[in-house]
Each structure stands twice: as C-alpha cells, then as structure tokens.
C-alpha cells in the first residue's frame, strides 16, 4: 500500500508533451542554423566560388558562429514555453504542501508548472555553461528563469539557482558551489521556495551551499565548504563567514 502511494506521489510530464517540448526546443534552433549554413555554402560555392581549402579554413569560424546562434535561439524558444506556463501559474514563494496526487488543486498546479520550468531550463543552462561562450549562462538564467543577474557576475563550474535568484554586480561563484531557491522537507511533506539574494561583490568559495531565502549584504565573502541555511542572514558590518551554518569570522583567522 505504501509503495502504491509513493508511486502516485510523483510529477510526470505527459509523454506527448515531453516529446513535443524536446523536439521543438532542440529542432527549431537546429533547422535555423542549418539554413544559415546552407546559405553560406551557396554563397561560398556558387556566388564567390571559393576554393575548397579556403572553405576548410573558414569552416571552424562558421561552426562556432552557428554554435553561438544555436544556443541563443534555444534560450529564446525555452523562454517562450516558460512565459506561457507563467501565465497559467506564476512563480510563487512560500512553504507549500507537496500535493502531487492532485495536480488540479492550487498547490498541485503550482508544483506542476514549477517542475516543468525546472525541466526545460536545465538543458540550455548546461549547454551554455559547457560551451565556449559561458557568458550565455547568465542570459539563460535571466531569460528562462527570470532571475536577476547583475553585470559581471561569473558562475564557474557549479550549480546555479534556476529560479528566484537575485545576484548583485561583480559577484563570483567558484566551482562546486550551489545555489538553490527551493528545499524539500521530506519528513513534513513540504517544499520551501524562497528568493535568494546575494549583494554586490559577493564571493562564494568552492563547496558552498546557499539555501532558499538566504541574504548577503554587499562585499561579503563566504569561505569554502560553508552553508547558508533557509532564511540565513549575515550580521551587520560582518563581511567574512565560514562554517555550517556560516558564522562571521575575522579575515586574520583564515590566514592562521
């Protein structure tokens, strides 16, 4: 009986919709880039009559140009899906029951579209971060997840917050650090969704975990392997933090 209830408490994307979303989001950018490629080939061969060797020289530049265009269009197509879903169920903050057996209820509907937005954003975020154009990651987070990402924010190879994150200018997130605007309380059957706010010039060293509702002021440094729990807030005039949960320290202590 418990197994049957556990199997029913899942959020599943209908198969037809799953295939449709994957096909449209992947193939529209592909065919657009294919059209550009064929146009250039026609231009090089028929109009300009470039030699094969010159075409070989130009091809790597054309490939990276099309790769960049592919990601840009992918982001925009995914953003269209999310905008449609947001009209049906906008982003919400709070602590919600994980009503997975009744997706037509208010909380069930909210969770359904929350999971769909999380599903569709993952591929462009991954592709952007692993591409030769990592700055497109911030564009994906802004356009698809509607996150507020400031200027010169650098995500290294970590785990960005997909929704409800607000990061100030010149912030730096080191590899393996993670930001999450949601946390699941499996014992109580609830999910907490709260905006994460990082002030300007925030630095997250490797291995830091930032939970929902966390707030840092400007010029704050979180040292390695530290954790900011749900609703974490720093202390006034304290700029350096370490530990789980992160507590203020003096910079001289780190040198020791």
Last residue of one domain, picked from the residues 98, 129, 146: 146
pLDDT bin (cut points 50, 70, 90) of residue 165 is very high
Last residue of one domain, picked from the residues 121, 146, 171: 146
Using alpha carbons, select from 215, 8, 216 the residue that is nearest to residue 101.
Answer: 8
Mean pLDDT of 15-37: 84
Global pTM value: 0.84
Kindly state whether residue 4 falls inside one of the protein's structural domains: no
Over residues 201-241, the pLDDT tens digits come to: 999 999 999 999 999 999 999 999 999 999 999 888 899 99
Grouping H, G, I as helix, E, B as strand and the rest as coil, residue 203 is strand
pLDDT bin (cut points 50, 70, 90) of residue 1 is very low
| Residues 127 and 236 occupy one common structural domain | no
CB 89 within 8 A of CB 112: yes
Structural domain count of the chain:
2
Kindly state whether residue 1 falls inside one of the protein's structural domains: no
Residues above pLDDT 70, as percent of the chain: 90
| Residues 169 and 241 occupy one common structural domain | yes
| Residues 141 and 153 occupy one common structural domain | no
Mean pLDDT of 5-18: 59
Three-state SS across 164-201? Answer: CEEECCCCEECCCCEECCEEEECCCCEEEECCEEECCC
pLDDT of residue 14: 67
Last residue of one domain, picked from the residues 102, 127, 146: 146
| Residues 51 and 123 occupy one common structural domain | yes
pLDDT of residue 130: 92
Domain that holds residue 228: 148-256
Report the C-alpha dihedral over residues 235, 238, 239, 242, rounded to 10 degrees: -70
């Amino acid at each position: 009986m418990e197994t049957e209830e556990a199997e029913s408490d899942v959020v599943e994307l209908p198969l037809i919709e799953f295939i449709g979303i994957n096909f449209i989001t992947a193939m529209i950018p592909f065919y657009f880039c294919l059209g550009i490629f064929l146009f250039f080939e026609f231009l090089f061969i028929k109009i300009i009559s470039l030699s094969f060797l010159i075409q070989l020289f130009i091809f790597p530049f054309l490939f990276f140009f099309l790769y960049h265009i592919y990601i840009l269009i992918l982001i925009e197509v995914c953003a269209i899906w999310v905008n449609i879903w947001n009209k049906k169920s906008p982003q919400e903050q709070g602590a919600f029951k994980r009503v997975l057996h009744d997706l037509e209820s208010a909380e069930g509907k909210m969770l359904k579209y929350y999971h769909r937005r999380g599903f569709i954003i993952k591929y462009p975020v991954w592709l952007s971060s692993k591409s030769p154009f990592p700055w497109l990651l911030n564009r994906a987070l802004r356009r698809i997840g509607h996150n507020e990402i400031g200027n010169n924010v650098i995500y290294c190879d970590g785990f960005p917050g997909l929704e409800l994150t607000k990061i100030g200018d010149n912030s730096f997130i080191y590899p393996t650090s993670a930001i999450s605007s949601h946390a699941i309380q499996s014992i109580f059957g609830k999910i907490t969704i709260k905006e994460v706010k990082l002030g300007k010039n925030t630095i997250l060293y490797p291995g830091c975990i930032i939970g929902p509702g966390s707030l840092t002021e400007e010029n704050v440094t979180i040292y390695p392997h530290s954790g900011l729990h749900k609703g974490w807030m720093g202390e006034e005039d304290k700029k350096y933090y370490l530990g789980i949960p992160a507590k203020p320290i003096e910079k001289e202590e780190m040198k020791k």
